[in-house]
Copies of this chain bind each other. A is one copy, B any other.
Amino acid sequence: MALFADLDEADFSLIHLPIEEVHYNADSVLYETGDEGSAVFTVRSGLIKLVQYLSDGTQRIVRLLRQGDTLGLEVLLDRNYEHAAVALRAAVCCRIPRNVVQRLSEETPRLHRQLMLRWHQSVARADEWITEMPTGPARARVARLLLRILHDEPGGDCDLFSREDVGAMLGVTTETASRVIAEFKRTQVILPADSHRVHCDETALRRIAKDA
């Protein structure tokens, strides 16, 4: 339970564990924008996308959440969920009911620091995203995205997600995403392995990511 990492046994006993570990398949929806916020989640494994819809129906992916990240913090302020959260691949999360956190929060001051850390992490992630994703040619953006995923993958292998998702993350069209990825395959920067899985030349990616 990453959220309670620094709470000791006594604190835990307060909880009575209505906390569940939930398993999600790829494309499972954790929650939708506007759903009543019943719980906060922490990611134990897998990869979750936070999606925000634009007025015209298109969607932008606002963050990727991986092991140790938190989502749904806004419910602690009695708000509805402000994004849609969807698993990009099989994932395991801790689902912590809102009132558990709220009650603990009143009783154990130590939790406050943990919560602030979580909030801070969200902001920092968002700021990185703002800085890196929309800058430079599409080629460099895709390279940066790949590098970011590789960061928590063993070896140089990773799953590619759909071109549409890549586009929604980088602010380019699906076609451009496809073209860039196709080019990377041609130039051997990424090598197809199992279905949807590729091996990446990190050195080459780092070079490409620098453009711009």
Contacts and interface: CB of A to CB of B under 8 A. Distances in A.
Interface of A is mostly: helix
Given A122-B123, A126-B123, A135 B73 contact: no
A135 B82 contact: no
A74 to B, nearest CB: 6
Interface in A61-113: 62, 73-74, 76-77, 79, 82-83, 105-106, 109, 112-113
Contacts of A199: none
Most chain B CB atoms below 10 A, which of A55, A134, A135: A134
A163 interface: no
A56 B77 CA distance: 39
Size category of the binding interface on chain A: 35 or more
B119 A126 contact: no
Interface of A: 52, 54-56, 58, 60, 62, 73-74, 76-77, 79, 82-83, 105-106, 109, 112-113, 115-117, 119-120, 122-124, 126-127, 129-131, 133-135, 171, 210, 212
28 contacts: A52-B127, A54-B135, A54-B212, A55-B210, A56-B210, A56-B212, A60-B131, A60-B135, A73-B119, A73-B120, A74-B123, A77-B116, A77-B117, A77-B120, A79-B120, A105-B112, A106-B109, A119-B119, A119-B120, A119-B122, A119-B123, A123-B123, A126-B127, A126-B129, A126-B130, A129-B130, A133-B134, A134-B134
